[in-house]
Amino acid sequence: MSIKNLILVGGGGHCKSVIDVAEGAGWNILGILDVAQNVGKRVLDYAIIGTDEQIPEFVDLAFFIVTVGQIKNVDVRVTLHEKILQANRELATIIASDAHVSKHSSIGKGTVVMHNATINAGVKIGMGSIINTMANIEHDVVIGDYCHISTGVMVNGDCTVGDRTFIGSGSVLGNNVVIPNDTIIGSNSFVNKSLPSSGVYWGIPAKVRDLPPPNDINIIKHAFCGVAFL
């Protein structure tokens, strides 16, 4: 098996971003697995060649990377990773050619490091995470499994980010901050001290909040994609 052959699992918007990173990093993309109704369609230049139920059929052909995005819920990403591992397939680790990753850091399988991200010395990142465009991970940070560190996030030195955590775009974590597992940090928030428990936080400084109602799309857009509530 060529170590540069790659199959993507999930054909949405995040898939397009990963395609761009993977191409620049020299991977040979064989195709995409998605839901049945999308088989035969294309994402950018690549065909959707099957569904995730067909993962075991691609024996010895390629590494896999999950290209489903993550905002409020990581369950789909975790389930797809488990399917790949149960089929004894290999997970890729993809790093953009223009990212800076210290040789003194470690990055788990299934993690994607996007364009212009910086990962400094002593950083440890778990499996299945997304380090998005222009995120800055400073020295000695620990980021758990299945996290999404969004665009332009600043994680300062000696922070610990728990498993399955989402940190929204433009947020800043001060030095030595600990974020519990299963936490959501809204966009443009400032976390100036360790958080006491899992939950949804946003603001300057970040405070615990109730999750917006699922039908209130305007609140959700503000909290997770644009402007944090104060």
Least confident span in 145-149, 202-206, 219-223: 219-223
pLDDT digits (tens, 9 = 90+) for 121-180: 999 999 999 999 999 999 999 999 999 999 999 999 999 999 999 999 999 999 999 999
pTM for the whole structure: 0.89
Whether 219 shows a pLDDT value over 80: the answer reads: no
Domains of the chain with CATH codes: 5-92 (3.40.50.20), 95-225 (2.160.10.10)
Label the pairing between strands 63-66 and 172-173. Answer: unpaired
Q: Which residue has the higher pLDDT, 114 or 61?
A: 114
pLDDT digits (tens, 9 = 90+) for 62-112: 999 999 987 667 899 999 999 999 888 889 999 999 999 999 999 999 999
Give the DSSP per-residue string, 189-230: -EE-S--SSSSEEETTTTEEEPPPPTT-HHHHHHHHHS----
Q: Taking Cα atoms as reference points, which of 187, 204, 66 lies closest to residue 135? A: 187
- Model confidence at 225, pLDDT cuts 50, 70, 90, reads very low
Residue 88 backbone phi and psi in degrees, to 5: 60, 35
| Single-letter amino acid, residue 126 | G
